[in-house]
Structure 1
Amino acid sequence: MPALAEVLTALDALWPPERAEEWDAVGTVCGDPDRPVTRVLFAVDPVLDIADEAVRLDADLLITHHPLYLRGTTTVAASTSKGRVVHTLIKHDIALHVAHTNADRADPGVSDALAGALDLRVTAPLVPDPSDPAGRRGLGRICELDAPLSLAAFGERVAERLPRTAQGVRIAGDPERTIRTVAVCGGSGDGLFDAVRAAGVDAYVTADLRHHPASEARERREPTASGQLALVDAAHWATEWPWTEQAAAQLDEISDRNGWGLRTHISRTVTDPWTAHAPSPAPARTL
């Protein structure tokens, strides 16, 4: 079985920390580099429910997409929610490693996993990484459908293929319009609207779309080949969860190649913060 340090070296090769955004906090949060690793748990969020799941699983390493301390801290006291996560992990000798925007930019990355979950064929990055001569890395992905669908049918596909959340999937656009090309971005994607418009796609699948950027994107008089840009807004957690399956498969391949015998697990605990949805009892009215 490998030592944690060996596994971390492999993870840094998959998702080099230097490719993360400057504001990001990626890499190893806790863990003894000399301890052996036999069982690994993948999850999106390093919250207490996930730490407790890692304990029940007897995992040696927890790998999450989201950072624990994105903006730094002055305490890891167990009286705080994040401090309790740290105490739980260290008490049970569980290491925590984070791959965030470095996993977003990777090849394959978070948006490749999202495209795969939706049965979309990736043609290019949405925002290419200028340091990649092959032109495969970058933020988001530009994709094609194997066969055209109406926006309503495509929205149903997104809702069916992604993990179920209280939010579900929101759609902006004519339900009957035809969708052939799609841009996707796992996680918060309304900062990429300029790239989406430049790509000329029919629809954009992402999460956390705010009112004003979404409204401005819909009102822009720059129609695509089949009409104005359609929007499909899913829960943040749901758009990034497919990456855990992809990442686990990547580590499985490395383990097999090196004879490590690692056992990888994927958390199916829903850590999206929204827990219920109350639909309007009648059609929306003008206020």
Structure 2
Amino acid sequence: MTTLREVVDYAHALWPLSGAEEWDAPGLVVGSLDHDVTRILLAVDAVSETVTQACDINADLLLTHHPLLMRSVTSVAEDRYKGHLVSKLIRSGVALLAAHTNADVVTDGVSDVLAQRIGMSNLKPLVPSSMEGTGIGRIGELSSPMTLGALAQHLASVLPHTAGGVKVSGDFNQEVSTVSLCGGAGDSLLSNQLVLSSDVYITSDLRHHPAQEFREQALLGSGPALIDISHWAAEWLWLDVAGAQLKKAFPNIHIEVSDVRTDPWDFLVVQ
């Protein structure tokens, strides 16, 4: 049998905690390290649907990208949703482990997988970390130039469906070859020099004013187009890779990737 301790140790070898941002809170949230693990469910978020799914399939571990407990959590009372989920996990004997920014920065991490699925090569981080080849975001080249519109359509075919789809700021027919990206919310990198040198920057959760001001400044000189994609969809692609890595190390553990869409938006009304 494989213990939770063995799985956690391997997860932290794949996605070292030392690679996490200072504000982040990855790691084990719920569970006894001595308990056996025979089934793991992977998901982007620990929310009611994925926790229920983990309990329903008798998973011993729910491994998520986003931490459930991070900022300003002062209570796990059951009348609050985080407390309710923690209590449900404990009662059902399901451990909870999060691999967040520590899984963003590594080779075959969140941004790396997104870049690979798009078809980018010659990848390097936008913000390198101390370990060579690791860091926040990625920049690279497409196998051949394409229009911005074609790249957006390609992204829409690669990513799982969401109500928000793929939003683009730029000329549909603009030719692009150098692409920068950051899986998850990446507006903090809008001033990054590698981002500014690319033809297009792909990320999520771009707000009105930062995106508008960035594009207005770009129009005065040169700067990338912007593509805004679903935060959940961009990170969901990584789960298959993470699951395969775990399966290779623990072939006797049943590993499943959740198909529950935890993007918060349910439908779009087109005007």
Could you tell me which residue of structure 2 aligns to residue 240 of structure 1?
235
Does 1:173 pair with 2:163?
no
Pick from 129, 137, 142 the counterpart of residue 139 of structure 2. Answer: 142
- State the one-letter code of the partner of 1:65: H
Could you tell me which residue of structure 2 aligns to residue 94 of structure 1?
94
Does 1:203 pair with 2:194?
no
Q: What SS does the corresponding residue of 1:107 show, helix, strand or coil?
A: coil
- State the one-letter code of the partner of 1:62: L
Residues 200-279 of structure 1: pairs in structure 2 closer than 5 A? 200-220=197-217, 221-223=220-222, 228-256=223-251, 261-279=252-270
Q: What SS does the corresponding residue of 1:146 show, helix, strand or coil?
A: strand
Pick from 155, 159, 163 the counterpart of residue 162 of structure 1. Answer: 159
Shift in Å, 1:143: 1.8
User: Normalising by structure 1, what TM-score?
Assistant: 0.90
Post-superposition Cα deviations, 1:147-181, rounded to whole Å, max 9, x if no partner, equal 11111111111111101001001000000010111
- State the one-letter code of the partner of 2:115: A
State the alpha-carbon separation in 1 of the partners of residues 193 and 50 from structure 2.
Answer: 34
Farther-moved stretch of structure 1 (164-173 vs 141-150): 141-150
User: Normalising by structure 2, what TM-score?
Assistant: 0.95
Q: CA RMSD in A?
A: 1.4
Residues 40-79 of structure 1: pairs in structure 2 closer than 5 A? 40-79=40-79
Shift in Å, 1:19: 1.8
Shift in Å, 1:122: 4.5
State the alpha-carbon separation in 1 of the partners of residues 248 and 176 from structure 2.
Answer: 35
Task: Tell me, yes or no, if the aligned pair for 1:20 and 1:102 is still in contact at 8 Å.
Answer: yes
Could you tell me which residue of structure 2 aligns to residue 30 of structure 1?
30
- State the one-letter code of the partner of 2:89: L
State the alpha-carbon separation in 1 of the partners of residues 179 and 154 from structure 2.
Answer: 13
Task: Tell me, yes or no, if the aligned pair for 2:189 and 2:195 is still in contact at 8 Å.
Answer: no
Task: Tell me, yes or no, if the aligned pair for 1:115 and 1:122 is still in contact at 8 Å.
Answer: no
- State the one-letter code of the partner of 1:200: S
Q: What SS does the corresponding residue of 1:40 show, helix, strand or coil?
A: strand
Could you tell me which residue of structure 1 aligns to residue 80 of structure 2?
80
The percent of aligned pairs where both chains have the same amino acid is 45
